[in-house]
């Protein structure tokens, strides 16, 4: 577990929005997708994932619907809303600005 990084505050929302941009997913799917995409570096604790999902739903950025999963199970699928897409774009550019700046500071000699 030592090689897995803790998530920075505020980045989880961004990651969830990103994974959902690729298509509707259920909760477990989201956590698995984040793990896969980060090559097992980012581990989303369920304790953070679900509250974040409810929060995003409440803000109207994602929508939840019950459906049937590829495994044939009843599951709640989250879909990005139009507002969520806009939010994702805004957060992504903000993140890029932020991470670039941090990189720049760290790279300075």
Compute the distance between CA of residue 51 and CA of residue 75 in angstroms, rounded to an integer.
17
> Which residue number, 16 or 26, has a Cβ lying nearer to other proteins?
26
Among 28, 79, 85, 92, binds other proteins (CB under 8 A): 28
Give yes or no for residue 83 binding other proteins (CB under 8 A): yes
DSSP letters along 61-76, please?
A: SEEEEEEE-TTS-EEE
Give yes or no for residue 36 binding other proteins (CB under 8 A): no
- Identify whether the C-beta of residue 84 lies closer than 8 Å to the C-beta of residue 20: yes
For the chain, count helices (H), then strands (E).
4, 3
Question: Which stretch, 3-11, 13-21, 57-65, 91-99, contacts other proteins (CB under 8 A)?
Answer: 57-65
Residues that bind other proteins (CB under 8 A): 26-28, 32, 46-47, 50-51, 54-55, 57-58, 60, 69, 71, 73-76, 83
């Amino acid at each position: 577990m030592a090689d897995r990084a803790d998530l920075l505050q505020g980045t989880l929302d961004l990651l969830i929005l990103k994974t959902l941009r690729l298509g509707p997913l259920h909760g477990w799917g989201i956590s698995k997708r984040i793990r896969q995409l980060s090559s097992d570096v980012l581990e989303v604790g369920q304790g953070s994932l679900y509250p974040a999902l409810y929060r995003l739903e409440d803000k109207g950025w994602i929508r939840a619907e019950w459906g049937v999963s590829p495994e044939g199970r009843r599951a709640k699928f989250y879909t990005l809303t139009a507002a969520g897409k806009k939010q994702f774009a805004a957060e992504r550019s903000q993140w890029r600005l932020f991470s670039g700046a941090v990189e720049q500071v760290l790279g300075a000699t």
